Every structure is written in C-alpha cells, then in structure tokens.
Amino acid sequence: MSEFLQQLLNGLSLGAIYALIALGYTMVYGVLRFINFAHADVFMVGSFIGYYAGKLVPEGTLWGGFSVLLAAMLGCALLGMSIERLAYRPLRGSPTLNVLITAIGVSLLLEYSGQVFFGAAPRTFPPIFPSQNFQFGSLTLSSNQIAVIVVAALLMLALQFIVHRTKIGTAMRAVSLNPRAAQLVGINNDVVISFTFGLGSALAGAGGILYAMNYPSIDPLMGVMPGLKAFVAAILGGIGNIRGAALGGLLLGTVETFVSGSQWSTYKDAIAFGILIIILLFRPAGLLGKFTVEKV
Amino acid sequence: MIRLPRLLTTALALLAACAAPAAEGPIKIGHYASLTGKDAAFGVATRKGVLLAVEEINARGGVLGRPLEYLVEDMQSKPGEAATVVKKLISRDKVGVMIGANASANSLEAAPICQNAKVPMMAISSTNPRVTQIGDYIFRICFIDPFQGAVLAKFARTSLRAQRVALLTSTNSPYSVGLSAVLRERFTALGGEIVAEQKFAEGDKDFRAQLTAIRAARPEVIAATGFYSEAALICIQARSLGLTGPIIGGDGWEAPQLTELGGKAVEGTYYCTYFSADNNAPEVQSFVRRYQVRWSNERPEGVSALGYDAVHVIAAAMERSGATTGPALRDALAATRNHAGVTGQTTIDRQRNSEKAAVMLAVKNGRAEFFETVTP
C-alpha cells in the first residue's frame, strides 16, 4: 500500500511537469490550430536560464528560488513571443503544413544553437530551492516533489483565471472560436496570439525549472523526450482543451511511473503510448475534447 | 626509342619519392572518443592520458626513430558515429593502429571495421567480453565485466557484509547488462541474495519508480551498474526516497561529474576502477605529477591512466617487432607480458584481454578515495 502511494506521488510530480508543457501545446493549438514543435525547446531554454540565473542568487533560499523561476518564465515568454513574431506571423494565412514545418525548423535551430552556446555536455543544475525530506510512516516526500506539484497547481489555477475571468482571456477564447469574427468585434488578433505564445512559453519555462530541480542534469537536447510526452498528453486530454492537457499530463506521468516500477520497466514508453492509442480509438477527440465535424 | 626508358626512370623516381615519406614519416595512431555529449568526461580524460604518453615518447625520439602522430575523432556519444569516424580514420587518414572507445557499445561498432582493415585496435575501458571476441586484431587495456562483476560481488559480500542486494541495470547498455549478470551469479554463489532487479534505459532521468520498488524489497546494498550521469541521478533520488545504504557501481561511475551532479547524495557510495591517483606506488605518483604539470593541475582519471598505458603497450610492441601496423604488430601486441605501467602489470591473455588487479574507491567528502585493492 505504501509502495502504491509512493509511486502515485512520484507519478503525480512527473505528470505535473508534463501537464505544464502540455498546456503550451494546447493553448497554441487552440488559437492557431497548429502544433508548436519548438515548445519543447523553449522548455530547455527555461532550464538553462535557471542554470545561469541560479548562479546569481544564494542557493537554497525561497526568494532566490522564486526569482529564478520568475526570470525563466519571463525569459521564455519573451523567447516564445519573438519566435511567433519572427517565424510564424509572416506565415499567417498560409497552409498549416508550412507553419508546422517552420515549427520543426525553429525546434532544430534552438536545439543545435543550444549545443553551440551552452555546450553539448550535461550541466549540473544548482539546488535553487531549500530541500528537505519529510517522512510519513513509510512514505517519503521530498520538498522538491511537493514544490513541483504545488507550483504546477498554482500556475494552472492562474491560467484558468486568466482564460476565463480576464478581458485578454475572453479575447483568446474568442479568437480560438472564430478568428475572423473576433477581428470584426474589434479584437486585435496579433496581440492575442502574441500573448498566447508568451503565456504558454512562460509555463514551459516554469516546467523547465521544475524538471531541472528534480532531475538536475540539463543539456540542450533535454526537451525532446518530455516535449514528446507532453504533446501526447495534450492529445490524450483533447488538444485545444486546457483542463484536458492537465488531466492528460497527470495521467501519462502516473502510468509511466507505475510501469517503470513494475517488471516491465523497459516497456514503459510502449505501454504509455499504447494507452494513448486505445483511448483515441474510443474517444477520437481525446478525453475532454469535443468532437467537431469538419464541414467541407 | 630513347624516350621510353627515360620516361620509365622518371616514373620510377617519382614513385620512389612518393613511397619514401610514407615509410619514414610519422607513425599514425588513430583514436575515436566521445569528446562531446553525455560520455564526454571519459573521452576527454582518455585523450589527455594518450596525448601525454605520445608527447613524452616523441620527446624521447619517438618509436623506431619515427615520431608518433596522434589523430583523434569525436564520436559525440552518439550510436552509429563510432563506425563513421573509424572508417574515416582508416581510409582517409590511413592510421596503422587504433585506440578504442570507452563505452563497450562504441567499441562493438568500431571493432569489425578495424578487424576487416587489419588495423590492430586497443580498446580503453570497454569491459564487455564480446568486444575482443570480434576478432584477433581487437585488444583491450582494461579488465572485463566478468572480472568487475566478480569484484563487486566479493566487495558487497565480504567488505560490506551484505546479505541482500538490489540490482539496477541499464538495459540498452551491453556494459551494464554484462556487469549485472556476473554480479548476480557471483553474489548468489557467495551465499547472498538478489532481492530486487529493476531496469532503466540510458538517458532516463526519473528512477523514483524503480527505486520505490527496490525500497519495498529492503536491500542492504544497491548496485547500479550503468554510467555516471544516470548513477548520480539514481543516488540523488534514492537518498530522497530515504534509501541511505551503500550504492555500488563499476568503472562507468568514474568521472568528476559523479560528485558534481550527485553532491551529498553520492557520499557513501563505492565503485571499482583500474587506477587510483592516491596509490602510493612511485610510478603512479610520478605519473600523477607529470599529468598535473601537463593538464593545469587536474588529477588523472582511471581512463587517463589506461590511455597512457595503451600508448606505451603499443609503442613497446612496435619496438619489439619493428612493425607499425598489420599482422606483425598484432602478434607483438598479443605477446605482451607483464608490461609495467601506471595501472599495474599488464599481461595480454589468450582472449586479448588485459589481466590486472582492481581498486575499490569510496566517495567521501566529495572525493573518490582509495579504499582497497580487490582480486576476486
């Protein structure tokens, strides 16, 4: 029983990070209807910003940790917005496939310029937050795991608030529903799309810091695998649906952890992706996605 | 009719002119290593040892009166890259002898190419037995996994007095799989019990699931037979799950990054290796001093010492046989007996492996310290 609870906790803390990255995929898809493959590399840049910013603040302090987190989120938001401005906006109105290929190009650009600027060898991420272990019976909680779950939950609540309770959030939903009609009622689509990229990338930056806190070895290709998993999580929950992305991330992280702890650990990715296929067979639009018929 | 012989002589003279520098130019030694990527620590440290040996030999006048020329190619820790760079070294640079990789997986890729080209290859720290089974041109300067597995089993059973051991194996590394197999067999033969076996893949970062399953089996010692980048994360996550017992590993752990990445979590871990810079033997201390002078005060790693010895074993074989490549050099390498180097006495056995003793290191205060010498 305690092993089950421990694995559940491990799974939730991994899933929370997948969920944070998945939110970025799903938000961009929601407004622009394309997958921003460069998102996983924004996540990587987030941990590198944390790596360099972490050297400027004293290790293991709360204010230091939060300022590093904030720096990474701001840096990533700027990066995401400039990617949108430079690479995607000129292609607005062209077929989705063109934008998709551009996204892959931006992703490779970030990965390999990362290898030039940061070096290819793995770096050690500094312990920016104070860390401690708590013992509840046979259940061990590390403060890092708790921090991941709490920070992720807070960010998701904040996102929910922004999307549903603010003016810009309403505009985002309007653009997502029908970009042309949104323009007709006086919404500046460029501003909304730019904001969406900034918001999604800030979450990826936070994900990068949380990931590096738990797995403190970072390198320029670190985004590839978590990015793929988060993409799957976004599809699993129903792409374009914010709550779906969070649910998908948590589900994927938990399943992966339980499979890793069993004797089939080598098949963990195969089983996780197998579950995705089964869910999509029964619910083609994902767990929380609405199935829409495309009119010809 | 006078023209033809003249043409012939000119052609002959030209040919001779072309052939002459090839025979008297430098002796080319190739080396394929991961100088970047996740195994970079090994490749870079090996290169430093090899280069020190080459420079020292050249300063003494070279081998057979010819200087050594050292050509290194980076295989970026990527699968498939070893084959590419070895082909390049053999066909374009025409090296006569090859210094091999650290990871067994890379050496297994490159060995068939060296074997086919009849270029003797000396692997550095590729401890998987299959490496030298590829052919009679493939040698290694280190001991092999069965030996290392046996050392770890004996160490866990007698020095740590463990009864229950858990194994954590990297399934896509032949090195880790081989080490775990022998460790399991020998530890059980010594009367111990393997209480849990978990697997992961190289490049994984989350081991909490496997470690939670291991914790439920209550082992006294955990053996993580992979490489340092995963080992450091395993130690961190094991400690955060409350697993405070000793964690042991093979020579794949040996890199400064182990303590950099692992920090406090790697205290109380042990690993076996070929060489310890703390060893008081005079030849070791003299090597450490020369290495530190050459490489801005850095301490040599086990693989640096192996790289250094590899060059000397090759140079000695060249001096004995007068050959710089091909079958004659191969035979001379195979005949190496009790070569005194910085990693102890090296004897090449019938399977072209090196026989030598292992040292166990203990991580204390952020440093790997000499613990004991083990012969299983």
Task: Give yes or no: residues B15 and B136 share one domain.
Answer: yes
Q: Is residue B88 part of a domain?
A: yes
Return the biggest CA–CA distance within chain B. 95
Task: Give yes or no: residues B178 and B128 share one domain.
Answer: no
How many other C-beta atoms can be found within 10 angstroms of the C-beta atom of residue A116? 9
B41 touches chain A (CB under 8 A): yes
Task: Give yes or no: residues B98 and B177 share one domain.
Answer: no
**Cross-chain residue pair B198–A122, CB shorter than 8 Å:** no
- Predicted confidence (pLDDT) at residue B338 exceeds the cutoff of 70: yes
What rounded mean pLDDT belongs to chain B?
88
Phi, psi (degrees; rounded to nearest 5) at B238: -65, -45
Average pLDDT rounded to a whole number, residues B226-233: 90
A45 pLDDT band (50/70/90 cuts)? Answer: very high
Task: Give yes or no: residues B150 and B135 share one domain.
Answer: no
- Predicted confidence (pLDDT) at residue B1 exceeds the cutoff of 50: no
- H helices present in A86-166, as ranges: 96-118, 143-165
Last-in-domain residue among B273, B300, B317: B273
Q: What is the pLDDT of residues B17-62, one digit of tens each?
A: 444 444 578 999 999 999 988 788 889 999 999 999 999 999 999 9
Task: Give yes or no: residues B218 and B299 share one domain.
Answer: no
A293 pLDDT band (50/70/90 cuts)? Answer: low
- Predicted confidence (pLDDT) at residue A214 exceeds the cutoff of 90: no
Contacts of B199 in chain A (CB under 8 A): 265-266
Phi-psi region of B62 (alpha: psi -120 to 50; beta: other; left: phi over 0): left
B203 touches chain A (CB under 8 A): yes
Q: Is residue B187 part of a domain?
A: yes
Q: Is residue B260 part of a domain?
A: yes
Number of domains present in the structure of chain B: 2
A90 pLDDT band (50/70/90 cuts)? Answer: very high
- Predicted confidence (pLDDT) at residue A291 exceeds the cutoff of 90: no
Task: Give yes or no: residues B107 and B200 share one domain.
Answer: no
* pLDDT score at B21: 42
Phi-psi region of B4 (alpha: psi -120 to 50; beta: other; left: phi over 0): alpha
pTM of the model: 0.74
Q: Is residue B374 part of a domain?
A: no
Nearest Cα of chain B lies from the Cα of A157 at a distance, in angstroms, of: 26
- Predicted confidence (pLDDT) at residue B13 exceeds the cutoff of 70: no
Segments forming the whole domain that contains residue B171? 146-273
Average pLDDT rounded to a whole number, residues A122-148: 83
Contacts of B256 (CB under 8 A, 6+ apart): B41, B301
Q: Which has more pLDDT, B289 or B1? A: B289
Q: Is residue B363 part of a domain?
A: no
Task: Give yes or no: residues B240 and B255 share one domain.
Answer: yes
ipTM of the complex: 0.74
Task: Give yes or no: residues B107 and B21 share one domain.
Answer: yes
Angle, helices A167-177/A2-32, rounded to nearest 10 degrees: 70
- Predicted confidence (pLDDT) at residue A210 exceeds the cutoff of 80: yes
Interface test with A, best of B212, B228, B239, B266 (most A CBs within 10 A): B212
C-alpha B345/C-alpha B373 separation (Å) is 14
Average pLDDT rounded to a whole number, residues B133-141: 92
B78 touches chain A (CB under 8 A): no
Task: Give yes or no: residues B164 and B53 share one domain.
Answer: no
Q: Is residue B29 part of a domain?
A: yes
- Predicted confidence (pLDDT) at residue B222 exceeds the cutoff of 90: yes
Task: Give yes or no: residues B300 and B311 share one domain.
Answer: yes
- Predicted confidence (pLDDT) at residue A105 exceeds the cutoff of 60: yes
Q: Is residue B376 part of a domain?
A: no
What rounded mean pLDDT belongs to chain A?
88
Q: Does residue B213 contact residue A11 with C-beta atoms inside 8 Å? A: no
* pLDDT score at B6: 54
Q: Does residue A75 contact residue A43 with C-beta atoms inside 8 Å? A: no
User: Domain with B255 in it: what CATH number?
Assistant: 3.40.50.2300
* pLDDT score at A168: 92
Task: Give yes or no: residues B159 and B209 share one domain.
Answer: yes
- Nearest CA among A209, A46, A38, A58 for reference residue A110: A38
**Cross-chain residue pair B213–A258, CB shorter than 8 Å:** no
Contacts of A11 in chain B (CB under 8 A): 209
Q: Is residue B371 part of a domain?
A: no
C-alpha B291/C-alpha B49 separation (Å) is 8
Average pLDDT rounded to a whole number, residues B292-299: 91
A260 touches chain B (CB under 8 A): yes
C-alpha A292/C-alpha B196 separation (Å) is 49
Q: Would you tell me which residues 127-186 of chain A have a C-beta closer than 8 angstroms to some C-beta of chain B? A: 127, 133, 135, 140, 142, 144-145
DSSP character for B118? T
Last-in-domain residue among B243, B273, B303: B273
* pLDDT score at B116: 93
Task: Give yes or no: residues B253 and B309 share one domain.
Answer: no
Return the biggest CA–CA distance within chain A. 61
Last-in-domain residue among B257, B273, B289: B273
